[in-house]
Chains A and B, each alone.
Chain A
Amino acid sequence: MKRHQRNYILGGAPLACFLGAALIGRFWTPFNPMRIDLRSKLQPPGAAHWLGTDEFGRDLLSRLMAAAGTSVSISLTTVFFALLAGLTLGVIAGYARGWTDRVVMSLNDALLAFPSMLLALALLSITGANMYGIILALGMAYTPSMVRVVRGSVLSLREREFIDASRIMGNSAAYTMLRHILPNCLGPVIVLATSMFGSVLLTESALSFLGLGVPPPAPTWGNMLASARPHIAEAMWLGIFPGLCISLSLLGINLFGDAIRDRFDPRMRGL
Chain B
Amino acid sequence: MNQPLVEVDRLSLSVRGLSDHQIVRDVSFRVDAGEIVGIVGESGSGKTMVARSLMNLQPPAISISGGDVRFEGRSVPAMTGKQVRALRGARLGMVFQEPMTSLNPSMTIGRQLEEPLKLHARLDAPRRRERILDILRRVDIRDPEAAFRAFPHQFSGGMRQRIMLASAMLLKPSLLIADEPTTALDALVQREVLELMLEMVRDEKTALLMISHDLPMVARYCDRIIVMRQGEVVEQGPVAEIISRPRHDYTRELLQSMPMRGPLRIIDQAASAVVEVKGLEVEYRTKAGLLAPKTIKKALHGIDLCIRSGEIVALVGASGSGKTTLGRCIAGLVPASSGGIFFAGKVVKPGSPAWHHYRLNCQMIFQDPFGSLDPRMKIREIVVEALRHDRQAGRVEKAERVRAVLEEVGLDGRYLDRYPHELSGGQRQRVAIARAVVGRPQFVIADEAVSALDVTVRTKVLQLLADLQRRHGFSCLFISHDLSVVEQLADRVVVMRDGVIVEEGKRDAIFVAPQHEYTRALLSAIPTLTRTDTGVSLSWRFAQADGALAEALQ
Instruction: Specify which chain A residues have a CB less than 8 angstroms from the CB of B371 in the assembled complex.
Output: 160-162
Total A-B Cβ pairs within 8 A: 54
Does A180 sit at the interface, judged by CB under 8 A?
yes
User: Complex: how many Å from CA A268 to CA B37?
Assistant: 39
CB-CB nearest in chain A for B355 = A170
Q: In whole angstroms, how far apart are the Cα atoms of A167 and B388 in the complex?
A: 12
Contact A162 B389 (CB under 8 A): no
Beyond contacts A164-B333, A171-B385: 13 other A-B pairs, Cβ-Cβ < 8 A, are A161-B371, A164-B328, A164-B364, A164-B372, A165-B366, A167-B332, A168-B333, A168-B363, A169-B360, A169-B388, A169-B435, A183-B374, A183-B376
Q: Is the pair A164, B366 in contact by a Cβ cutoff of 8 Å?
A: yes
In the bound assembly, the distance between CA atoms of A162 and B381 in angstroms comes to 13
* B388–A171 touching, CB < 8 Å: yes
Contacts of B388 in A (CB 8 A): 169-171
CB of B368 within 8 Å of the partner chain: yes
* Chain B 340-386 interface residues, beta-carbon cutoff 8 Å to A: 356, 359-360, 362-364, 366-368, 371-376, 385-386
Task: Return chain B residues, CB-CB under 8 Å to A161.
Answer: 366-368, 371-372
A73 contacts chain B at the CB level, 8 A cutoff: no
A170 near B360: Cβ-Cβ < 8 Å: yes
Give CA–CA (A161, B356) in the complex, Å: 20
Structural contact, B375 and A184, CB atoms closer than 8 A: yes
B373 — nearest CB in chain A belongs to which residue? A162
Q: Ordered nearest first, which 9 A-B pairs have the shortest CB separation? A: A161-B372, A161-B366, A170-B359, A161-B371, A162-B374, A183-B376, A168-B364, A170-B389, A169-B386
Residues of A within 8 A of B435 (CB): 165, 169
Tell me the interface secondary structure of chain A in the complex.
helix
CB <8 Å contact, B367 and A170? no
**B331 contacts A168, C-beta separation under 8 Å:** yes
CB interface residues, A 171-188, toward B, < 8 Å: 171, 179-180, 183-184
Q: For the complex, give the distance between the alpha carbons of A166 and B366 in Å.
A: 12
Residue-by-residue, is B313-336 near A (CB-CB < 8 Å gives 1, otherwise 0)? 000000000000000100111000
Q: A165-B435, A167-B333, A170-B389 are in contact. Are A184 and B356 (CB under 8 A)?
A: no
Q: Which residues of A contact B333 (CB under 8 A)?
A: 164, 167-168
- Chain A residues near B364 (CB-CB < 8 A): 164-165, 168
Within 8 A of B (CB), among A79-133: none
User: What would 26 A/B residue contacts be, using CB atoms closer than 8 Å?
Assistant: A161-B366, A161-B372, A162-B374, A162-B375, A164-B328, A164-B364, A164-B366, A165-B364, A165-B373, A166-B374, A167-B332, A168-B332, A168-B333, A168-B359, A168-B362, A168-B363, A168-B364, A169-B360, A169-B385, A169-B386, A169-B388, A170-B356, A170-B389, A171-B385, A171-B388, A184-B374
Please give the distance in Å from B112's CB to the nearest CB on chain A. 26
Give complex CA distance A50, B360 in Å: 72
Interfacial residues of chain B within 41-100, with CB under 8 A of chain A in the complex: none
Q: How many residues of A contact B (CB 8 A)?
A: 15
A200 CB, min distance to chain B CBs, angstroms: 28
Complex Cα gap A183–B378 (Å): 13
| Min C-beta distance of A166 to chain B, whole Å | 8
**Roughly how many angstroms separate A166 CA and B371 CA in the complex, as a whole number?**
12
A180 touches B356 (CB 8 A): no
- Cα distance A184–B421 when bound, in Å? 14
Task: Output the least CB separation between A168 and chain B (Å).
Answer: 5
Closest chain B residue to A186, Cβ basis: B376
Residue of B nearest to A159 (CB): B371
Chain A residues with CB below 8 A from B372, complex form: 161-162, 164-165
Cα–Cα distance between A166 and B362 once the two chains are bound (Å): 13
Q: Which residues of chain A come closer than 8 Å to B366, judged between CB atoms? A: 161, 164-165
- Nearest B residue to A184, CB-CB: B376
What distance in Å separates the Cβ of B365 from its nearest Cβ neighbour in chain A? 9
Q: How far is the CB of A7 from chain B (nearest CB, A)?
A: 20
Residues of B within 8 A of A160 (CB): 371
Closest A residue to B361 using CB positions: A170
List of B residues within 8 angstroms of A165 by Cβ: 364, 366, 372-373, 432, 435
Q: Which of B331, B332, B367, B374 has the most CB of A within 10 A?
A: B374
Nearest chain A CB to B70 CB, angstrom units: 35
Closest residue on chain B to residue A165 by CB atoms: B372
User: With A and B bound together, what is the CA distance between A168 and B441 in angstroms?
Assistant: 12
Contact B331 A180 (CB under 8 A): no
1/0 contact string of B448-490 vs chain A (CB within 8 Å): 0000000000000000000000000000000000000000000
Q: How far is the CA of A179 from the CA of B381 in the complex (A)?
A: 11
Please indicate the chain B residues that have their CB under 8 angstroms from the CB of A179 in the complex. Answer: 385
Q: What are the residues of chain A within 8 A of B362 when measuring CB–CB?
A: 168
Smallest beta-carbon distance A181→chain B, Å: 10
Q: Which residues of A lie under 8 Å from residue B386 when comparing CB positions?
A: 169
Interface string of A148-168 (1 = CB under 8 A from B): 000000000000111011111
How far does the Cβ of B284 sit from chain A's closest Cβ, in whole Å? 15
Point out the residues of chain B lying under 8 angstroms from A184, CB to CB. 374-376
Complex Cα gap A167–B356 (Å) = 11
| Complexed CA–CA distance, A164 and B375 (Å) | 14
Kindly list chain A residues whose C-beta atoms are within 8 Å of the C-beta of B375: 162, 184
Instruction: Mark out the residues of chain B between 284 and 341 whose CB falls within 8 Å of any chain A CB in the assembled complex.
Output: 328, 331-333
